[in-house]
Structure 1
Amino acid sequence: MILDRGMILDRDMIVDGVRLAYRQTTGRTGETLVLLHGTPSHSYIWRAVIPALEAAGHGVLAYDLLGYGASERPLNRDTSVTAQADLLEEVLAQREIARCTLIAHDIGGAVAQIFATRHPNRLERLMLIDSVSYDSWPSATWQQIIRDHLDDYSAMPQPDFEAMLTRQLTMTVTDPTRMSGETLEAYLAPHRTALGRASFFEHQVRHYDSTPTQRTAPLLKTLTVPTRIVWGAEDRWQPVSYAKRLAADIPAAHLTIIPNAGHFPMEDNPTRIITEIQTLIG
């Protein structure tokens, strides 16, 4: 089963004065799995994963990060990964989740690393999927854009912006046909308005900054929860070398490299992602 785009997140919550779109199921196993997406994406990326986890009886909480997807996009609010980690703590408190398994992708992985090292007692398990880490982000191209051309990019005509974002999204999969049609439209949809375009640069690109993950890196060795590092072998954004480094630095972490998968392995091979999550939970 794959969830329809409109069915993934079915309600809103107000946390620390901002609105977040979310989905929560209680399950029957006692496990609560919290799914954190990355950029340029939103909770749509979990549409083929959530049904299998819920069918297995696990509680699931998925939400769009502040400034992303269907959540509020206030232009005067900090949406850095550090601020998102602070907000995650507020979300878990409001949803009365004392401990959880964090499953995080891309910059969601940065949020998870910060949260895990700050609040290890709140975690049962951790999975990092093609996560940013250390100094792995942003790319040299994005560094130059942020430093010299961010205002120019923010002001580009909508067709040019969508063409640029389409090129970026196509790089996330090994088979370009997987990022086309309705799938591509779903990823582009949050950015099809002037506010959506501005939000992409203000809430996402402006906060492409590795300082928080470099600051957190020395603390990874303190993590003791069961951890799996899952990576697409063909990831063009986050090299596999960073996956190996994470696996070496986090005690007893298990590394899985998925062949024929790119930066969005949930698109290339969702069945494998489901299997890895089920293996982590045991």
Structure 2
Amino acid sequence: MGYLMIVWIVLVTVVTVFYLNIPPPELSPRLKAWYKKGSFFRYNDFDIFYIDEDGVMTDDSTLLLIHGFPTSSHDWIKILDDLKEQYSRIVMTDMLGFGFTDKPKQYDYLITEQADILEAILESLSVKDVHIMSHDYGDTVALELLHRHNTNKGKVQVNSLCMLNGGVFPETNFPLFGQKMLLVPVLGDLLSHISFYGSLKRGLGSTFGPGTQPSDTDMRDFYAVLRYKEGNIVMSRLIHYITQRNKNKERWVGALQKTKVPTHMIYGPADPVNPPVFVDHYKKVVPNPSIHVLPSGIGHYPQWEDPTGVVSSYVEFLKNVKQE
């Protein structure tokens, strides 16, 4: 073993030991209030956090919100009240490995299982049909649910699907350097153990538009949720959704291409992970594409960066859905 390799291993070990003795940050009052709104659903041996809220409408309609990587259901807080105006009920969860849900360490996180869990929660709530809004990682989970709906193999009927910035197409998805490092065997596990607030701020912050950066309070909330139940440690396992997308392209992109369900994309173009080449590809690949491009400064988290623009586009989409 070379001298430099020994030095590297010793350095990483020292940093890891030091990091593991740093307690996770406390939840802010805002996060504590979010936690109190929720309940837990037991799936196999895991506790899955979910929130089931009443909306304003009286038509028995339900909206399922599916968050992205590496965050949680709290991502929807800025548009939740407006969405309640459109539905009788809104259900959202922290998927396995995220947020307040359990985060098993030695585990293969599969998109298909995330969909299984959502179906199980909806079934327990006696929800048989849903509209879906999803973001990022959640877009892929939503496409799995859409595939099941298309093939009559799902446990829930999908009435409509609205996606926000996500790597729907492997060809137009460009993971950040840190995400690529998490995919590297052994190295990814080590990096997960020594994740710091500063690294999250740089990495996650780079996906927002230059003029729509989260406040320090917002970013610390993102970090606190990530560190909850040592969630940082499983990032190197969750990140393999990228390879799952590549392997299941025909299944998930095909679901979007073949479906008769009304679909819509709301897209922030200042997104380094899914840059504007995504728009042309979406229009080329998806039959009768419905896509709304937000102003140029909006990045990967449109529901956080431009909540008014997202709600406006979504309400217009719903009007068309209801007219069909």
Going from structure 1 to structure 2, the CA distance change for 1:44 and 1:194 (only over 3 Å counts) comes to closer
Aligned residue pair count: 276
Q: What residue in structure 1 maps to residue 191 of structure 2?
A: 153
- Trace 1:36-115 onto structure 2 (pairs within 5 A): 36-115=66-145
Going from structure 1 to structure 2, the CA distance change for 1:35 and 1:257 (only over 3 Å counts) comes to same
Question: Which moved further from structure 2: 34-43 or 77-86?
Answer: 77-86
**Mapped pair 1:170 → 2:205:** yes
RMSD (Å) for aligned C-alpha atoms: 2.4
AA partner of residue 241 (structure 1): V
Q: In 2, distance between residues paired with 1:213 and 1:241?
A: 21
Q: CA deviation at 1:179?
A: 1.5
Q: CA deviation at 1:197?
A: 2.1
For 2:184, what is the secondary structure of its paired residue?
Answer: helix
Matched-pair contact (CA < 8 Å) for 2:97–2:231: no
Q: CA deviation at 1:57?
A: 4.4
AA partner of residue 64 (structure 2): V
**Mapped pair 1:223 → 2:220:** no
Once the two structures are aligned, what percentage of the paired residues are identical? 21
- Trace 1:1-282 onto structure 2 (pairs within 5 A): 4-8=30-34, 9-27=37-55, 28-120=58-150, 122-135=157-170, 136-137=172-173, 139=175, 141=177, 142-148=179-185, 149-156=187-194, 158=195, 161-175=196-210, 178-192=213-227, 195-202=230-237, 204-209=238-243, 210-216=245-251, 217-259=253-295, 260-282=297-319
Question: Is there any run of 5+ residues in structure 1 with no aligned partner, and where?
Answer: none
Matched-pair contact (CA < 8 Å) for 1:4–1:47: no
Question: Which moved further from structure 2: 14-23 or 109-118?
Answer: 14-23
Matched-pair contact (CA < 8 Å) for 2:174–2:272: no
For 2:239, what is the secondary structure of its paired residue?
Answer: helix
Matched-pair contact (CA < 8 Å) for 1:13–1:22: yes
TM-score scaled by length of structure 1: 0.88
Q: CA deviation at 1:180?
A: 2.5
TM-score scaled by length of structure 2: 0.77
Question: Which moved further from structure 2: 258-267 or 128-137?
Answer: 128-137
Going from structure 1 to structure 2, the CA distance change for 1:245 and 1:85 (only over 3 Å counts) comes to farther
Q: CA deviation at 1:245?
A: 2.7
Going from structure 1 to structure 2, the CA distance change for 1:155 and 1:77 (only over 3 Å counts) comes to closer
AA partner of residue 153 (structure 1): L
Question: Is there any run of 5+ residues in structure 2 with no aligned partner, and where?
Answer: 1-28, 320-324
For 1:44-73, what per-residue CA distance to the aligned partner results, in whole angstroms no more than 9, with x for missing partners? 110011111124443111111111011111
**Larger radius of gyration, structure 1 or 2?**
2
Going from structure 1 to structure 2, the CA distance change for 1:55 and 1:33 (only over 3 Å counts) comes to same
Q: CA deviation at 1:91?
A: 2.1
Question: Which moved further from structure 2: 261-270 or 84-93?
Answer: 84-93
AA partner of residue 254 (structure 2): P
Matched-pair contact (CA < 8 Å) for 1:227–1:252: no
AA partner of residue 173 (structure 1): F
Matched-pair contact (CA < 8 Å) for 2:137–2:241: no
